[in-house]
Structure formats: structure tokens, C-alpha cells
Amino acid sequence: MNQYDLIVVGLGAMGSAALYQASKRGARALGIDRFDPPHNMGSSHGDTRITRQSIGEGEMYMPFIRRSNEIWRDLESSTGRELFLKSGGLIIAPESDAASFHVQGDFVALSIEIAEKYGIPHEVLDAQEIKRRFPMLMPRPVDRAYFEPGAGVLRPERCIQTQLDLAIEAGGAIRTNERMIRYEADARGVTVVTDRSSYQADKLILSTGAWIGDLLPESYRAGIRVCRQVIYWFEADNLEAFYPENCPFVIWIGDRLEDFWSTFPAPRDGLRGVKLVTEQYHASTHADELSRQVTLQETADMYHRLTAPRLKGLRENLIHADVCMYTVTADEHFVIDRHPESERVLIASPCSGHGFKHSAAVGETLAQLALDGGSEFDISAFELERLGNIQE
Ligand SMILES: Cc1cc2nc3c(=O)[nH]c(=O)nc-3n(C[C@H](O)[C@H](O)[C@H](O)COP(=O)(O)OP(=O)(O)OC[C@H]3O[C@@H](n4cnc5c(N)ncnc54)[C@H](O)[C@@H]3O)c2cc1C
């Protein structure tokens, strides 16, 4: 009864997609999660996730974004659920000496280069033009932007829920509030031991997000850090001005890493505030020791230092805040690979703060690796080996 073709441990962005894809193909698949996804204890909550067609992080992501966008559209038409809101997206940075964002180099220029190469509709705006089109934004004269009109935001909780629902419909099984304690893999298969039971399968996918480090050999752990991030929602003078048809997402890269700031369009059915985030990489933690308290100092910094000089129309009234985790590799690229200790075990989790938009296709790739032994897309850039023996 507890025998499966495939077990997926961790049903967040990557795991829900993998379970759906494997179940859809007719595999006997079991998904296990320590919480009840979609939940707010990992890396996939907060109502919206940016997605764009030009991936300045590198060309190796292009097959994943194109396929993910197809999958989201298919899921929308087969379920009638709205998973994507088109708002357009702006990436703003100074013309020279911008801080890095996910990769080394000028992220605006990298986005333009990829958009030109792949025929993605886009515009390049100078500071004057940014202000004219988006009067709520206050760029400096040195800023310019990559604007992608077809970009927008995904609804992460709904994407996860939809893929889990469809996995069950296709015959997949799910155990929630059940934690994997350990697994064993040998020539005959894998055994997953949880705090409630044990299960056998031919293959195992580990998509445990910020907890992945615990499942890797010691020599890889220093190459993967868990960085606490805070998501803030502030009250708007007029929330309608921030609805997706009126307001693009903004990725705003400053002169220093700590000046990074991003704002999101407000879905009509979301929290009654405007979502803002920054990124921090200096402090790392273990996922079980994450501080989930948001301090007054953090909130004041977000409002006064990062937001007030850039965006008009928000009040200093925090409606809600949530803590989330980036699982960051040393080069900020993904890991999608076999486990170094077993061919039967696959890993996809450290997605360095830019994984959600690609997760539908990462799940499909994981299902292919598990069920076919190889994948349609080239995953050589995402090998775990590059993170081995990094010194802390
Ligand atoms: C604040 C913030 C903003 C972001 N913005 C964007 C964005 O705009 N665009 C974008 O593309 N990406 C963005 N990202 C990144 C993206 O959200 C993540 O890369 C992605 O959601 C991670 O998915 P995951 O499946 O690896 O992890 P998760 O979704 O966290 O899933 C891991 C799952 O594993 C489970 N688990 C862990 N250990 C066990 C165990 N032992 N047994 C059973 N279950 C276990 C957990 O409960 C969890 O459900 C953002 C991330 C954050 C934190």
C-alpha cells in the first residue's frame, strides 16, 4: 500500500509542480509536506510573485520561463482560476555603477540584450519618460528602465493549490503535516521515513526549499545559505491606483546592494495594501531558527529610506508583514540535479530568490528526470557540484 513510483518531499513551488506533472503522466506519486501547503512557513507565500519573459539572470533560464508561462496559461484555461495578472514590469537602475541583482553585471542591459535576442516586446525608458508614464515613481536623473509590457505577477498560493488539486484529481496522493525524518536509498529503491509512517518508491524528489541543506553532504552546505526576507504591505491613499491595470511591478536596483527595493501591483482580491520588499544577504540562518518577528526599525527603514524617496501615494501605516526565506547559492543560480549520494534521488530547491516564475517547468523537468531518466531542457548550469567545498 505504501509503494509508489515516485515520492516528492516538500510541496511548495517546486514540489507541487513536480507532483502534478508526475501524476498527470500516470505515475503512482506521493507528495509529503511538514506543513499544509500552500502555507506561510517557507518561501512561496505573500500573494504575488514577479514574472517576466526576459530573464536577465541568464539564457539558461529561457526554456524554463517560456515553458512555465505555457503551463500557467494551460492551468488557467483548464481550471478557470486566474493565476497570472498582467501589469507590465519595470526594472530601474542607474546607467552606471548599479549594484548587482542576482547576477554580476548591469541587469537592465542584460534584460534588454535577452529581450532583443528573443524578440520580447520591451522599451527602454529614461528618467523623464518613467515619470511621465508612471507619475507615482520618482526616479533620479541617472536612472533608466527596462519596461516589459507583457510581464506581471503570479499568485503563488493559488498556483500551488491548483497543482496539488490537479495532482489529486490525476490519482496522486498527498500527506500534509507529516515531516520526513530521513530517507534511505539503495539499489532496490528508496524508503522515506516520516514522523507518522514509512513509504517506498523507485525515485525520490527532495524539494524541501530552505530545509534542503539538512539533506546534503556537509561539503555542500556552505554553498547554500538561508536568508531571511520581509514582505510589507502599506496602506495606499488610493489603492485603485495600484491595481494591475494601473501599476506595473517595479524592480529598483540602487547604487548599493542594500538599496534594492521592489513594489508589486495590488490584486483586487488581495490584502488591502501595497506590497513592498527589499533583499538582504548579509545574515543567514537555519530555517528552523528563523525570526518571524518584524521589528519597528525594519518597518521604518522600508518606509522612510527605501520607499518615500521613490514612490508617492503610500501612508506610513503598515497593514501586514510576513517573513519569508531565500535559499541562496554562492553564485545565486539554481540547483536542479541528482543527489551526490544516489541516482534515485533528485534535488531542486535552492532557487536564490528568483525561482517561482520558473517553478512550473522545473516541476516538469523533475518529473522527466525521475520517470524518464533525463530531461528535455539542459540543466548542466544547475549542477550541485559547483557548490562543493566552498569555505564558510
Ligand atoms: C520575499 C520573497 C520574494 C520573492 N519574490 C519572487 C518573485 O517575485 N519572483 C520569483 O520568481 N521568485 C521570487 N521569490 C523566490 C521564490 O518564491 C522561491 O524561489 C520559490 O518559491 C521556492 O520554492 P521551493 O519549492 O523551493 O520552496 P517552498 O515553496 O518553501 O517549499 C518547500 C517545502 O518543503 C517542505 N518541507 C521542508 N522540509 C520538509 C520535511 N523534512 N518533510 C516534509 N516537508 C518538508 C516545506 O514545508 C515547504 O512546503 C521570492 C522569495 C521570497 C522569500
Condensed to tens digits (0 to 9), the pLDDT of residues 46-72 reads: 999 999 999 999 999 999 999 999 999
Q: 210 CA to middle of ligand 1, Å?
A: 7
Fold of 71-154+224-329: D-Amino Acid Oxidase; Chain A, domain 2 (3.30.9)
Name the residue with cell 530545509: 211
Instruction: Kindly list the protein residues whose Cβ atom lies closer than 6 A to any atom of ligand 1.
Output: 9-15, 32-35, 37, 41-44, 46, 49-50, 179-180, 207-209, 211, 229, 231, 277, 324-326, 349, 351, 353-357
- Which of 30, 35, 49 to probe ligand 1 with, by most ligand atoms within 8 A of CB? 49
Q: What is the pLDDT of residue 391?
A: 63
Condensed to tens digits (0 to 9), the pLDDT of residues 80-120 reads: 999 999 999 999 999 988 888 888 889 999 999 999 999 99
User: Does the domain spanning 3-45+156-218+334-387 belong to CATH 3.30.565.10?
Assistant: no
Residue closest by Cα to atom 27 of ligand 1: 209
For the chain, what is the mean pLDDT?
Answer: 96
Cβ atoms of 318 and 233 closer than 8 Å: yes
Ligand 1, closest atom to CA 208?
Answer: 34
Question: Nearest 5°: phi and psi at 49?
Answer: -135, 135
Q: 371 CA to middle of ligand 1, Å?
A: 23
Name the residue with cell 505515475: 27
Q: What is the pLDDT of residue 352?
A: 87
Condensed to tens digits (0 to 9), the pLDDT of residues 169-216 reads: 999 999 999 999 999 999 999 999 999 999 999 999 999 999 999 999
Rounded CA separation 277/254 (Å): 14
Angle of helix 156-169 relative to helix 62-79, nearest 10 degrees?
Answer: 70
Arithmetic mean of pLDDT, 338-358: 95
Ligand 1, closest atom to CA 230?
Answer: 1
Contacts of residue 135, Cβ cutoff 8 Å, sequence gap at least 6: 312
Q: 13 CA to middle of ligand 1, Å?
A: 6
Quick one: residue 230, left, alpha or beta (phi over 0 = left, psi -120 to 50 = alpha)? beta
Arithmetic mean of pLDDT, 302-329: 98
Ligand 1, closest atom to CA 43?
Answer: 30
Contacts of residue 162, Cβ cutoff 8 Å, sequence gap at least 6: 75, 79, 81, 83
Q: 125 CA to middle of ligand 1, Å?
A: 33
Q: What is the pLDDT of residue 11?
A: 98
Q: What are the residue ranges of CATH 3.50.50.60 in the chain?
A: 3-45+156-218+334-387
Q: Are strands 274-277 and 180-186 parallel, antiparallel or unpaired?
A: unpaired
| Strand partners for 365 | none
Q: What angle do CA 381, 387, 391 make, to 5 degrees?
A: 155
Q: What percent of the chain is modeled with pLDDT above 70?
A: 99
Q: 19 CA to middle of ligand 1, Å?
A: 15
Cβ atoms of 90 and 84 closer than 8 Å: no
Q: 40 CA to middle of ligand 1, Å?
A: 9
Q: 312 CA to middle of ligand 1, Å?
A: 31
Q: What is the pLDDT of residue 389?
A: 66
Residue closest by Cα to atom 6 of ligand 1: 49
Residue 392 pLDDT greater than 70, yes or no: no
Going 371 to 374 to 376 to 380, the CA torsion angle's sign is positive
Residues in the chain: 392
